[in-house]
Structure 1
Amino acid sequence: MVKIRLKKFGAAKRPCYRIVVQDSRKPRDGTTIEEIGTYQPVTQEGENQFTVNEERAKYWISVGAQPTETVKKLFSKKNLNKK
């Protein structure tokens, strides 16, 4: 199954995540099909925490990719959960 999930990168105690489309059988930091956004939970004031290519996210959801629970919460901020 294809999932939309977070892929971790960044420094120690400063996590950053890429929002990626990936086969669910692959490891978290393994090869991905496509990168569609970023999420930075620890940011300076005024910086954007969450960016996503909405067109590609809608496409992947429409063809059956399942977002993880965390990604669903992020997508709900931009109303991307609906097909």
Structure 2
Amino acid sequence: MPVYRLVVTESASARNGRFIETIGTYNPIGATETVQLNSERAKYWISVGAQPTAAAAGILRRNGVEFKGHPKGEYVAADSK
């Protein structure tokens, strides 16, 4: 059963490389998805400039973390820069 970690990382780090902090977990399997999220830490990282990927942005929004996206309204995956 897959369980994904929601992590904060530098955009220059490799996808499976070092990360700064784990802010939650996401389990998409089952009748309903299961998310454990430290909302306060997510809000903090966004307030200091963190940009979530499109997938992470969806998870954060569904769990009550409000934020604005990139200036053009797009989300850029860390590995596509």
Q: TM-score, normalised by structure 1?
A: 0.72
Q: Counterpart of 1:41? A: 28
8 Å CA contact 1:37, 1:51 repeated in 2: yes
Q: Identify, as 1 or 2, the structure richer in helix.
A: 2
Q: What is the CA–CA distance in structure 1 between the aligned matches of 2:53 and 2:67, rounded to whole Å?
A: 14
Q: Counterpart of 1:79? A: 64
Gaps of 5+ in 2: 69-81
Q: Counterpart of 2:43? A: 58
Report the Cα offset of residue 79 of structure 1.
2.2
Letter in 2 for 1:39: Y
8 Å CA contact 1:21, 1:34 repeated in 2: yes
Q: Identify, as 1 or 2, the structure richer in strand.
A: 1
Q: TM-score, normalised by structure 2?
A: 0.74
Report the Cα offset of residue 35 of structure 1.
0.4
Q: What is the CA–CA distance in structure 1 between the aligned matches of 2:41 and 2:55, rounded to whole Å?
A: 18
Q: Counterpart of 1:27? A: 14
Aligned-pair Cα RMSD in Å = 1.7
8 Å CA contact 1:72, 1:81 repeated in 2: no
Report the Cα offset of residue 16 of structure 1.
1.4
Letter in 1 for 2:37: V
Name the % identity: 46
Gaps of 5+ in 1: 1-13
8 Å CA contact 1:22, 1:31 repeated in 2: yes
